[in-house]
Structure 1
Amino acid sequence: MSDYFNLENDNTDRVLPYNCRPGTDLISRMVLNDNQSINMLIKVLVPEVEEDHYVATPTEFINRKKCDVLYAPHNPLSTFPPVFIEVQNQVDEKFLVRAIHYSTLIYERYKKRPILVIIGVASATAQFMSMTAPNSDFPFANHIPCIGWAKRCLVLTSSTLKVNEHNTDEELHPLQALGHFICSQSLSMSTLDYGKNDKWVKLLYSIAHANLKQLSGEEEEKLEAISNICSSSQIQLHKVKRCLENGDKVSIEKASSYVDDVLGFLQRQKRKYCETIETTPIEEAPPLVYLKKNRKLTNSVDFNDERNKTELHQFVQRFKSIESGRISWKKCFEQGYLDDVKIIKHFNTSESLRCHYNRFFK
């Protein structure tokens, strides 16, 4: 994927298909969940944090309500607020009530009031806009007073984003570039009214194009896999049928063997395409004799403590796939060690982490 530091002199016009134009749910989520986009936005919304401090997290809440995009610090002990972004075709009072509800649900999960960015793609009602006011920090956006339910609430619409559309040489603010990218719904940079040469706009089109290419490749691989699975199974089942038609003992035993082959083949394909296999198992090292005697328990954790259980649960949930619902235990384990998270460093392997978590929370 392109890096924004190398995009300033890249004039490639990346064209998106109409059904995947900016502003659609698919492209909005793809772009906003990309790590480069997260770093770009967090740098201006929470400027105190370092790069890669935030990650995209599951957006579905315990009551099955679901916001569009949610970021949170990857370290559960971080004091910085979560950030969520809502992309809505038409913004009105009813939508605002829903967004406020999401804010309360996010507060329940993280015990911190979130920062909210609302992007109105097509329009915003006059009644809704009457509740907003210009924002001094971001002149291309309005804000909504949010005492008690959010730390900050910014609103970007086509009308607020026009603040410097006549100055085509001025570099766009990253948040303004995002709003312009989504609200313009342009299939390529060449059809934009302004911002064609802006590095942030180039980055967003690059991310969208790369993710669509990845998605297209995944779909082609799935179709090819389905075709191969069907063909292989069909060949084996024809063999079974011929054996059963013969009816003798040897043929029936052969048919049974073919059935076993098909069942084994289908099980392997299920693991390959439907289940996450993180790594090939590695042979265990010889058991400890001397080191074990001298080892001191420096990382003891009391799992009867509710705070420890909550911290473990919140950290693990950040590595749960939104699409499949599966948890990447290897990534969770490695990130926990990188971030020096005591609750994760208590475990020696990702497998022991998985087993312990499932015993407590499933």
Structure 2
Amino acid sequence: MSDSESSRDSIDDFSFTLPDKCRSGRDLMSKLILDEKRVNNILVNEMIGQHAVDQYVSRPIDWRNFSESNVLYIASSARQDKLLPPVLVKVLYTANMASYRRLIYYGLSIIERYSAPPVVLVIVIHNTTTQLADLAAISEKQPYLLELPCDGWAKSCNILNASSISDHLQHTPLNPLVALGHFLIRQKPLLRDIDRNDDITIQQLYNIAKEIFGNDLQTASNTTDVLRQIYDQCSRARTALCEDVSDVSLRKRTIDCLDQILIIINDQQEPSATALPNNTNNSRTKDWQFVEKCLNDHGSCNWESIFQLGKTKGLFKSYAKWTSAKSAYYRQKKQKQ
């Protein structure tokens, strides 16, 4: 990209607004941003080394207890498996001792599946409890990170939070990992509203967000935005409940209530039953074209993330749940064969 093109993109980004549902640090944004190849390279370059750039791909995490805000990177080539460890990135609103115990479970699960201990990075959006912070020590190699004990379940485990990067936000340019953490933690919908908007990595991250969500999101109605805020908060509450309450019987009633709210919100965006069949067919064609693009761009992508992103773009109007859209997609593919 030429300097003039880069400058023009930066100027455009200053006026680009991310709706509340798509702000950095939210579950949907975090997952899609971390799945992006350029962000993948920022992370592995800082956590593994320059030799790891372009050597990793993100893989969907479908193990029990893994939430949407987790992203797992593994070596793209089988020849590199023994040289490049798995990298687990987890975005947490609050980091506490329960989070730490879950990290141990995740690390052991990765070892069982990939026969290698992972490199773990936790990005904390809101706060880190004193009890957990007391276990951590400032990293000697990367002083903007806090190291946690991880013998037996991870190759390394680090926390990045507002406190750990605060002394490093005056550097020019910002360390790319510091910039990524700052972008996710601050949750600013406008580039011009975030401090250090002059930094090239910060600008690149907003540009990536713009590419993912598109300018059409700026026209979202207030009602849709409010519904999506409620949806986002309910999704967060559901994830937190699953993670913090291990006894399924104790959380079942609350989970059922949250699931009903999520279904109602999706139903509010259903199309009218009187829609013309041709319009429905055209709509579904656009749905499947969007799915194909996501799968081609990311190699692999969580279906719930695809569904949520598609909803923000006015797609999947015939479906209340991502599972229904997924089944319909593979059904139509089978019919074409």
TM-score, reference length from structure 1 = 0.59
In proportion to residue count, which structure has more helix? 2
Larger radius of gyration: 1
Partner of 2:24: 22
SS across alignment from 1:49:
helix
- Tell me: higher relative CO, structure 1 or 2? Use CA pairs within 8 A at least 6 residues apart: 2
**1:9-59 CA deviation, whole Å, 9 max, x = no partner?**
834413322232221111111111111111121112121535321111011
Q: Give 1:61-210 correspondences, 5 Å limit.
A: 61=63, 63=64, 65-66=66-67, 68-78=70-80, 79=82, 80-165=84-169, 167=170, 170-193=172-195, 195-210=196-211
- 2:47 and 2:17 mapped to 1: Cα distance? 29
Identity of aligned residues (%): 25
SS across alignment from 2:79:
coil
- Given the superposition, is the C-alpha separation of residues 15 and 319 from structure 1 closer, same or farther in structure 2, using an over 3 Å criterion? closer
Tell me the CA shift for residue 215 of structure 1: 8.5
Aligned-pair RMSD on alpha carbons? 3.7
Tell me the CA shift for residue 77 of structure 1: 3.3
Partner of 1:43: 45
Partner of 1:322: 302
- Given the superposition, is the C-alpha separation of residues 23 and 272 from structure 1 closer, same or farther in structure 2, using an over 3 Å criterion? closer
Asked whether the 8 Å contact 1:113–1:149 carries over to 2, the reply is yes
Partner of 2:214: 213
**1:180-203 CA deviation, whole Å, 9 max, x = no partner?**
11111222232223x221111111
Asked whether the 8 Å contact 1:139–1:163 carries over to 2, the reply is no
Asked whether the 8 Å contact 2:92–2:125 carries over to 1, the reply is yes
Tell me the CA shift for residue 3 of structure 1: 9.7
Q: Give 1:243-322 correspondences, 5 Å limit.
A: 273=287, 319-322=299-302
**1:305-348 CA deviation, whole Å, 9 max, x = no partner?**
xxxxxxxxxxxxx955421799xxxxxxxxxxxxxxxxxxxxxx
Asked whether the 8 Å contact 1:7–1:199 carries over to 2, the reply is no
Asked whether the 8 Å contact 1:122–1:183 carries over to 2, the reply is yes
AA aligned to 2:134 is S
- 1:124 and 1:276 mapped to 2: Cα distance? 38
- Given the superposition, is the C-alpha separation of residues 186 and 272 from structure 1 closer, same or farther in structure 2, using an over 3 Å criterion? closer
- 1:180 and 1:205 mapped to 2: Cα distance? 12
Tell me the CA shift for residue 7 of structure 1: 4.2
Unaligned runs of 5+ in 1: 220-225, 234-261, 279-317, 327-362
Tell me the CA shift for residue 231 of structure 1: 3.5
Asked whether the 8 Å contact 1:4–1:203 carries over to 2, the reply is no
Asked whether the 8 Å contact 1:92–1:124 carries over to 2, the reply is yes
The count of residues paired between Structure 1 and Structure 2 equals: 249
